[in-house]
Amino acid sequence: MSREIAGLYQRIVLEHCKRPRNFGALKDANRKAGGDNPLCGDHIDVYVRLERGSILDIAFAGVSCAVAKASASLMTEAMMGRDAVGGRALLQKFEQMVGSGCSEPDPELGDLRAFADVRDFPSRVQCAMLAWDALRTVLYQDLG
Amino acid sequence: MDTSYVENSSDSRRKSLRSVTSETLVARWRAAFPVLRARVHGKPLVYLDNAATTQKPQAVIDAVSRFYAQDNANVHRGVHALSQRATDAFEAARARVQAFLHAASAAEIIFVRGSTEAINLVAQSYARPLLVPDDEILVSAMEHHSNIVPWQQVCQQTGAVLKVVPINEAGEFQFPEYERLLGARTRLVAVTHVSNALGSVNDIARITALAHEKGVPVLVDGAQAIAHVRVDVRALDCDFYVFSGHKCFGPTGIGVLYGKRERLEAMPPWQAGGDMVRSVSFEETEYMPVPHRFEAGTPNICGAIGLGAALNFISAIGPEAIAAHEQRLLSHASAEIQWIPGARIVGTAWHKASILSFVIDGVHPHDIGSILDREGIAIRTGHHCAMPAMQQFGLASGTARASFAFYNTLEEVEQLVEGVRRVQEMFQ
């Protein structure tokens, strides 16, 4: 296996793909947003329970590739309990890491740094961003 | 009888397969394609995405560059030497297509941008003036979007209805349902020759015979067939046959609509402009006869010339030799991939062209594609522009698809199999 492939599919990514956290529709969610990847037809729904501007609970559901699924799973863990400002800041850091060639990923990203190598796979950036793009609508429209 | 086939070891099977294929012959075919010597991600390119587009032999590259370097001018225009040379070369390409399809006349060959444009032309010029509300167009459940959407559009424009001939779990066209659906309101049957997502080869001669019994014309989408099976439009007796140049080793942006002459002559022009008119005044315009009536504006001259060179190249090898080699690649790949744990082949028609769609339990096709790509192996992943067919198989994320051309080798098939095996192990 090539070094790049090992970088894209790190152990934690494969593990979250096999056992995604916060997976399945959230019954008491009061926000829901979907993300589509027209290239492959993948779709992810993100469910959020917002209270007083904070993410009390968050989950995702849908069919997607390993990169999108693991990214969504780790995103839900990282977003849990954050407020709008903190959520947006994290989104921005993640997007910067997978989208641009910026050298060192922000330490605040924690386990999400497993996606740093996605930037070497331009066709997969959209996969890593699928759930984040869905959450973006919630973070920007509803958390004003 | 070659007893090595009977032995149940994949090594001996491989050996016996090799002895059937002349490796030197395939190597010679291969050598004609410069891009096949490319390296990607530091590995030799294994190009198995031929159903998306095929690579170009040096003969096509040379024909295109020679035209621009030596003969470039507009066609059907000037009195000068270059214009005559360009016109001769363009019309010679038309004659080449006619011979390749075994069409009765060069007037039955219309140059278009590709299969998609050809289908749109028939939908708008043949079907649209004819259709009234509740008329029916028949397509099959295995069609590419390009043989669905133009018909949906013309149905919306006219009130006609799109009906779908089902396929079975192997991906085979269902003749009993087809016969039931062919009715008094059927105005056209539009069906693919070879399925791009499943590889199924349809019995076109039987489809046209049944349609013609009811007086219904048939359009055949030959995009996936043209490079792999012998096409004889008179033997198939289809009314329209369409294909794209880039899927048969020619340039992009050039394709062909074949139509029976009497059909074409009864059709109004689709696009209007120069080159398709005999005389124009502000009161009245007299159109050119077929095929020029359907070729408004300056055509893709160089594309047609490149396509002619590509068809020459295929003919020199021979459709039978191509099909025999590709069947070896397909059967070897199918036999190996079906033994990989969790792998399943999608599309198991009895008569298949060299397209192998497969899925692996718990692994998204997109991940398979990315991992193989880093090994230098190019395949297609997703729904292959055939979402209805994918839905029928319950494949929301589509499949991974390896599609072979005559320049692929058994070694490349083995690299594919090895790569897929590694993907499966990684996600186990």
pLDDT in tens, B314-340: 999 999 999 999 999 999 999 999 999
pLDDT, position B5 = 32
Q: How far is B141 from B166, CA to CA, in rounded Å?
A: 5
- Give the side-chain half-sphere CA count within 13 A for B188: 30
Window 111-140 of A: residues touching B by CB (8 A cutoff) are 121, 123-124, 127
Q: A41 vs B387: CB contact, 8 Å cut-off?
A: yes
Peptide bond into B291 cis (omega under 30): yes
Of A4, A14, A42, the CB nearest to B374: A4
B79 burial level (CB within 10 Å; 0-12, 13-18, 19+): exposed
Q: For residue range B183-227, list pLDDT tens digits in order.
A: 999 999 999 999 999 999 999 999 999 999 999 999 999 999 999
Task: Say whether residue A12 is in contact with chain B using an 8 A CB cutoff.
Answer: no
Q: What is the pTM of this model?
A: 0.91
Residue B339, SS3?
Answer: coil
Cα separation, B423 vs A69, whole angstroms: 17
**Please, which residues have CB within 8 angstroms of residue A91's CB and are 6 or more apart in sequence?**
A132, A135, A136, A139
Question: Which of A3, A5, A36, A44 is the best residue to mutate to test the B interface, defined by the most B CB atoms within 10 Å of its own CB?
Answer: A5
Contact B367 A1 (CB under 8 A): no
Does B280 have pLDDT greater than 90?
no
Alpha-carbon span B345 to B405, nearest angstrom: 19
The beta strands (E) that lie in chain A are given as 31-37, 42-51, 54-63
Select the residue of B364, B375, B396 nearest A66 (Cβ to Cβ). B364
What ipTM does this complex have? 0.86
CATH number of the domain within which A73 lies: 3.90.1010.10
Segment B7-34 shows an average pLDDT of 68
pLDDT at B413 over 70: yes
Min Cα separation B371/chain A (Å): 6
Report whether pLDDT(B52) > 70: yes
Give the pLDDT confidence of B236-249 residue by residue, as tens digits. Answer: 999 999 999 999 99
Q: Residues B155, B238, B248, B385: which is the catalytic one?
A: B385
Please tell me the predicted confidence (pLDDT) of residue B329.
97
Express each pLDDT in B79-118 by its tens digit.
899 999 999 999 999 999 999 999 999 999 999 999 999 9
Q: With an 8 Å Cβ cutoff, is A64 touching chain B?
A: yes
Amino acid at A83: D
Please, where are the H alpha helices in B75-220? 81-101, 115-121, 128-130, 149-158, 175-181, 204-213
User: Alpha helices, DSSP H only, in B182-289?
Assistant: 204-213, 233-236, 261-265
Residues of A in contact with B367 (CB under 8 A): 9, 65-67
Is B385 noted as a catalytic residue in this protein? yes
Distance from CA of B364 to the nearest CA of A (A): 5
Q: Which residues pair with B381 in a beta bridge?
A: B400
What is the predicted pLDDT for the residue at B11? 52
Q: How is residue B268 annotated by DSSP?
A: P
Supply the range of the domain harboring residue A36: 3-142
The count of domains in chain A is: 1
Pick from A127, A113, A135, A109: which is nearest to A41 by CA?
A127
Handedness of CA B367, B368, B373, B374 (dihedral sign): positive
Distance CA A35, CA B368 (A): 22
Nearest residue of B to residue A16, measured between CA atoms? B427
Task: Supply the pLDDT for residue B2.
Answer: 38
Full set of structural domains in chain B with CATH: 3-48+318-427 (3.90.1150.10), 60-316 (3.40.640.10)
Collect the ranges in chain A with pLDDT lower than 50.
143-144
Q: How many CA atoms lie within 13 A of B62 on its CB side?
A: 8
